[in-house]
Structure 1
Amino acid sequence: MHFPPLPSALLLALAIHSGVSAAADEKVVEPCTVASSAGSFYDLRKLSILPPKDGKKPGKNEKVDDWHARGYDYPSNFTLNICEPVVGGLEHRPVGIDKDLAQNVSAYYETGGKIYSIGQQNSNLTLRGRRLVLQYTDGSPCGGENKKRDNGDDEDKKSAKDSRRKSTLISFHCDKDPLATAPSLTFVGASPDECSYHFEVLSKDACIGSEPAKQGVGPGAVFAIIGVIAILVYFLGGVFYQRNVAHARGWRQLPNYSMWAGIGSFVKDIFIIGTSSCARFLPSRRGYSALSVSANGNGASRGRGRGPEDENRLIDQLDEEWDD
């Protein structure tokens, strides 16, 4: 038997296996999630407040408004969202923020009838040791509320000249209290120049979790791909060899045609034997036309198909028996 050369198939399969493995190794980082080198995984997507979808009612325990933190000794309270822009509409454009960027504000406070952004939307979590933090940057210019400004766009232009802008740092802590029902967000403090604001979030969602299994090409699928490629190369290479070297035509172009033909005949014989064996167990059709033994010992039909001579002979026999 002539087999087509398979080194090319194996090389091609190995190349595909390497490409699939490389693609599987590339981890796609989901927004608002982070994994450490030690295997710890954090997922804070449940803390993100998303705007309600059209025609869809929120769940019973689903939060639909932004997170709020009391300022205590700070003269303002704060509104924030986690990894997403705030969903509550801003009454005014934040000081020093372009109109196109106003919809990406993730944290702000309001004082003196003006809104000050303390950070733009960001969903990249960071692990600093055992601390899980999220930072917002590019807020309103620092110290803008302490300066005398004109009204209108001139105020925004003067504020934009300040290169230092407000930012927010949020640290997350695991809540191990079994009685806790909802996360809590607390304002920790602000820097003296009112450029940096620090918050803490206590939540069960900030505890270490297990990374969800990613749908990808597994080892079984890789070997299946290799097998399919090897079979294709085997048949294509065999057809090329049988046609051009052995000068075969028709079905004989297939590699190892005699072997495949023998397998087909074997399967056919097994099928015939199986059907013949099953036919023995089928009930036979017997009726009034079954064969019976006539008076002269010959097998004759007592039903349909009986000739006149047979009927006369049977009548004579019955008459003789009646006379006796």
Structure 2
Amino acid sequence: EEPKLNPCSAIHPLTNGFFDLSELSSINKENTVAFSAKGYDYNKNFTLSICSSPLKPNIDVNNNYNGHFAKYHINSSEVGGFYTDEAGDKFSIGNFNSTPVFRGKKLTLTYNNGSYCPNGIDKKSTVLSFICDKEILAKASVSFVGVLHDCDYFFEVRTVHACPTAQKADNLALIWIFLFIFLAALMVYCSGGFLYKRI
């Protein structure tokens, strides 16, 4: 039976290494956590969040592409990443997902169901590929890698949080173990004192 994991965490299926990306997300935080990536050869700047939305609720995000569809908006609280066009309109590149998965040796996070692609049928999606970087000073560095058909976006995320760690233990279990050891030591001390007085 697989252990139940917190959102934004994963266990490597071969090494059993534990990976926790929640420090990079807005999960259980009041403010949004967002990362910027410049699409140098794509002429767009991206804003992404990890396992959460970089947008506050009720922000307009367009679901059409170049006016091919009637303009209607999507739920901004589900958007995992977006870019802003020359007119200032935001376009989703996928709804966030809080379940990282391993593709071979790579820890990845996939966002689906963004704004419509230029073909008017498919919706934009994003793949974030995480790389363990213990020397980075920032929480994370997000780089735009490429795009396929103005529809599928690829990013690389370098962060110390993509390095395996020990899984967070249940604090209550630790307290019970400490209490049990303390009570056992107390019983040994008291019974030793009682036996010493009897002799």
Shorter-chain-normalised TM-score: which range?
Answer: 0.7 to 0.9
Q: What SS is found at the alignment partner of 1:70?
A: strand
Pair 1:80 & 2:63 matched: no
Indicate the residue corresponding to 2:97 in structure 1. Answer: 122
Q: What's the TM-score, normalizing by structure 2?
A: 0.73
Q: 1:126 to 1:75 in 2, by over 3 A?
A: same
1:180 Cα offset (Å): 2.6
Q: 1:215 to 1:99 in 2, by over 3 A?
A: farther
CA RMSD of superposed structures (Å): 3.0
The aligned runs of 1:76-115 (5 Å cut-off) are: 76-88=44-56, 92-96=60-64, 99=73, 101-113=75-87, 114-115=89-90
1:173 Cα offset (Å): 0.4
Indicate the residue corresponding to 2:152 in structure 1. Answer: 196
Contiguous gaps of at least 5 residues in structure 2: 65-70, 178-199
Q: 1:166 to 1:100 in 2, by over 3 A?
A: closer
Q: What SS is found at the alignment partner of 1:112?
A: coil
**Equivalent position to 2:140, from 180, 183, 196:** 183
- Whether the aligned pair in 1 keeps the contact of 2:83 and 2:90 (CA below 8 Å) is yes
1:68 is aligned with what amino acid? Answer: S
Pair 1:135 & 2:110 matched: yes
2:9 is aligned with what amino acid? Answer: T
| Range with bigger deviation, 83-92 or 127-136 | 83-92
Q: What SS is found at the alignment partner of 2:23?
A: helix
Indicate the residue corresponding to 1:276 in structure 2. Answer: none
1:109 Cα offset (Å): 0.4
- Whether the aligned pair in 2 keeps the contact of 1:66 and 1:88 (CA below 8 Å) is no
Q: 1:43 to 1:78 in 2, by over 3 A?
A: same
Indicate the residue corresponding to 1:15 in structure 2. Answer: none
1-side partners of 2:57 and 2:44: how far apart?
18
1:172 is aligned with what amino acid? Answer: F
1-side partners of 2:50 and 2:44: how far apart?
20
Percentage of identical aligned residues:
32
The higher radius of gyration belongs to 1
1:181 Cα offset (Å): 3.9
Per-residue CA deviations over 1:237-270 (Å, capped at 9, x if unaligned) read: xxxxxxxxxxxxxxxxxxxxxxxxxxxxxxxxxx
Pair 1:167 & 2:125 matched: yes
Pair 1:46 & 2:23 matched: yes
1:26 Cα offset (Å): 6.0
Q: 1:140 to 1:47 in 2, by over 3 A?
A: same
- Whether the aligned pair in 2 keeps the contact of 1:32 and 1:124 (CA below 8 Å) is yes
Q: What's the TM-score, normalizing by structure 1?
A: 0.46
Contiguous gaps of at least 5 residues in structure 1: 1-24, 59-63, 145-161, 222-324
Per-residue CA deviations over 1:13-63 (Å, capped at 9, x if unaligned) read: xxxxxxxxxxxx66222110001233111000001135864xxxx8xxxxx
Per-residue CA deviations over 1:110-164 (Å, capped at 9, x if unaligned) read: 11322211000200101112100000000111117xxxxxxxxxxxxxxxxx331
2-side partners of 1:71 and 1:81: how far apart?
16
Pair 1:27 & 2:3 matched: yes
1-side partners of 2:28 and 2:90: how far apart?
21
**Equivalent position to 1:71, from 24, 34, 39:** 39
1:175 is aligned with what amino acid? Answer: D
Bigger share in helix: 1
